[in-house]
A and B are shown apart, each in its own frame.
Chain A
Amino acid sequence: MGEVIVVTSGKGGVGKTTTTANIGTGLALLGYHVVLVDTDIGLRNLDVVLGLENRIVYDIVDVTSGNCRLKQALIKDKRFEGLYLLPAAQTKEKTAVSVSQMVDLCNDLEKEFDYVLVDCPAGIEQGFKNAIAGAHKAVVVTTPEVAAVRDADRVIGLLEAAEIKDPLLIINRFRPEMAKKGNMMDIDDVIEILAIELLGVIPEDELIVISTNKGEPAVLNQQSIAGQAYRNVSRRITGETVPLLKLDVSNGLLMRLRKLIGMG
């Protein structure tokens, strides 16, 4: 029986899709059988972040409404073993999937996969309710900013109310140099306020944008510090204990290295 994990945030644009794609790819690299489910109906994104947009035939609504079988809608990533995508529908309404359909879908998927990662849409309406419906666990993504942390707090309350216990926190787009100068909340500040367990800290990294341009998640890029952070997160999800990246040090070193070899 696999584990169904929803990646959610409340606030939009903080990195749910980036996180889903990278953790999913990271878990596949570790040899697990993984399916990524895009529940952002109408605003499909996970396919392009993974570089699979040209292979879509059927989508999640085709599955839940019985237009096709589940297996037909799953897109296999040919670059590595064990990674699959169930794309969102692009031209349908968020209400095209119901909570009970979503629960059934997750039940079916967890029989076939080690990990089912659900990319949640922004907000706390129907799309959110669907995305969390079949989840055993939740990963809450935030950036170290007031509005994002506030929304994360709200989502944590809603997850608790839905009996999804002990959500894990990812702090994304962290900038150690800003935190050091006192111009960005520190990891400890955010953890203190939200009071949930930290799963990982992902630094701000240009290579995230570049990897999204190419459709190749940053975990595949050994140069990417965010990719390294996501590889660590993937290992933590499997139960391994991995220390936090020393961000300011390795970041600086990496920058200097990049400059040295003319990449900076």
Chain B
Amino acid sequence: MLDFLEIFQRVFKKESVSSKKVAKERLRLVLVHDRTSMSPQVLEFLKEDLIKVISKYMDIDTEGLEVNFSKEDDSIALVASIPVIKVKRLSTS
């Protein structure tokens, strides 16, 4: 439910984000994909390296691993989803 303050703000403040901002954000995101997809193997190398490093600490489902770019507020984030099968017991033997 909207409270009074929110309604007030919606009516009297700038009601929408400027379309120029939206355009810029969309472009930045789409270009990250365009630019990296020019060399798709780079993302693949990144995945392989990730698997190597993380496998030292836990068993992961390498098939289900996903690495992608996503937009977070006003920055681009690299988001990795890595299904964990089993965390290894650290042993120093």
**Residue ranges of A at the interface with B (Cβ–Cβ < 8 Å):** 145-146, 149-150, 153-154, 157, 179, 181-186, 189, 193
Q: Which residues of B contact A186 (CB under 8 A)?
A: 20
Q: Which of A146, A154, A157 contacts B23 (CB 8 A)?
A: A146
Of B24-32, B42-50, B80-88, the segment with at least 4 beta carbons within 8 Å of chain A is B24-32
Please report the number of residue pairs spanning A and B whose Cβ atoms sit closer than 8 angstroms. Answer: 38
List, in ascending order, chain A residues with CB within 8 A of B19's CB. Answer: 182-183
Classify the interface of chain B: helix, strand, loop or mixed: helix
Nearest-CB distance from B78 to chain A (Å)? 19
Contact with A along B9-21 (1 / 0, CB 8 A): 0000000001111
Question: In the assembled complex, how far is the CB of residue A179 from the closest CB belonging to chain B, in whole angstroms?
Answer: 7
Pair A185/B23 contact, Cβ less than 8 Å? yes
Across the interface, do A145 and B31 meet the contact criterion of CB distance under 8 Å?
Answer: no
Chain B residues within 8 Å of chain A by Cβ, number: 14
Q: What secondary structure prevails in chain A residues at the interface with B?
A: helix
Contacts of B89 in A (CB 8 A): none
How far apart are the CA atoms of A145 and B22 in the complex, in Å?
11
Check B34 against A150 for contact (C-beta < 8 Å).
Answer: yes
- Assess whether B20 is in contact with A150, with CB atoms less than 8 Å apart: no
Q: Smallest Cβ distance from B12 to chain A, in angstroms?
A: 18
Given contacts A153-B34, A157-B38, A182 and B18 within 8 Å (CB-CB): yes
Closest 10 CB pairs of A and B: A182-B18, A182-B20, A189-B24, A146-B23, A185-B20, A183-B19, A185-B23, A146-B27, A153-B31, A193-B27
Are B35 and A153 interface neighbours, CB within 8 A? yes
Residues of A within 8 A of B28 (CB): 193
* Interface core residue of B20, B28, B35, B38 (most chain A CB under 10 Å): B20
Docked-complex contact B35 and A157, CB < 8 angstroms: yes
Which chain B residues border A183 with CB–CB below 8 Å? Answer: 18-20
Q: Which B residues touch A184, using CB under 8 A?
A: 20
**Known interface pairs A150-B30, A153-B34, A153-B35; A193-B20 also in contact (CB < 8 Å):** no
Bound-complex Cα distance A25 to B23 (A): 34
A157 to B38, CA, bound (A): 9
Shortest distance between the CB of A161 and any CB in chain B (Å): 9
A7 to chain B, nearest CB (A): 22
